[in-house]
Amino acid sequence: MEKTLLSFGHGFSAQALAKVLIPQGWRIVGTTRSPDKAEAIARTGVEPLIWPGSDVSALLPKFSNILISAGPGPEGDPVLAALRDDFAAAAAGMRWVGYLSTTGVYGDHAGEWVDERTALTPATKRGQARVKAEAGWQAIPDLPLHIFRLAGIYGPGRGPFAKVRKGTARRIIKEGQVFSRIHVEDIAQALVLSLDQPDPGAVYNLCDDDPAPPQDVIGHAAELLGLPLPPAIAFEDADMSPMARSFYAESKKVSNAHAKEALGWRPAYPDYRSGLAALLALEEA
| Residue 219 belongs to a domain | no
Q: pLDDT digit of tens for each residue in the chain (285 aa)?
A: 689 999 999 999 999 999 999 999 999 999 999 888 999 999 999 999 999 988 899 899 999 999 999 999 888 999 999 999 999 999 999 999 999 999 999 999 999 999 999 999 998 888 999 999 999 999 999 999 999 999 999 999 898 998 999 999 999 999 999 999 999 999 999 999 999 999 999 999 999 999 999 999 999 999 999 999 999 999 998 888 888 888 898 999 999 999 999 999 999 999 999 999 999 999 887
Q: Do residues 227 and 171 lie in contact, with contact meaning Cβ atoms separated by under 8 Å?
A: no
Any idea what DSSP says for residue 178? Answer: -
CATH at residue 71: 3.40.50.720
Work out whether the CA dihedral 184, 185, 186, 187 comes out positive or negative: positive
Count up the domains in the chain and report the number. Answer: 1
| Residue 55 belongs to a domain | yes
| Residue 285 belongs to a domain | no
d(CA 221, CA 217): 6
Closest CA to 267 of 201, 199, 204: 204
Any idea what DSSP says for residue 72? Answer: P
| Residue 202 belongs to a domain | yes
| Residue 230 belongs to a domain | no
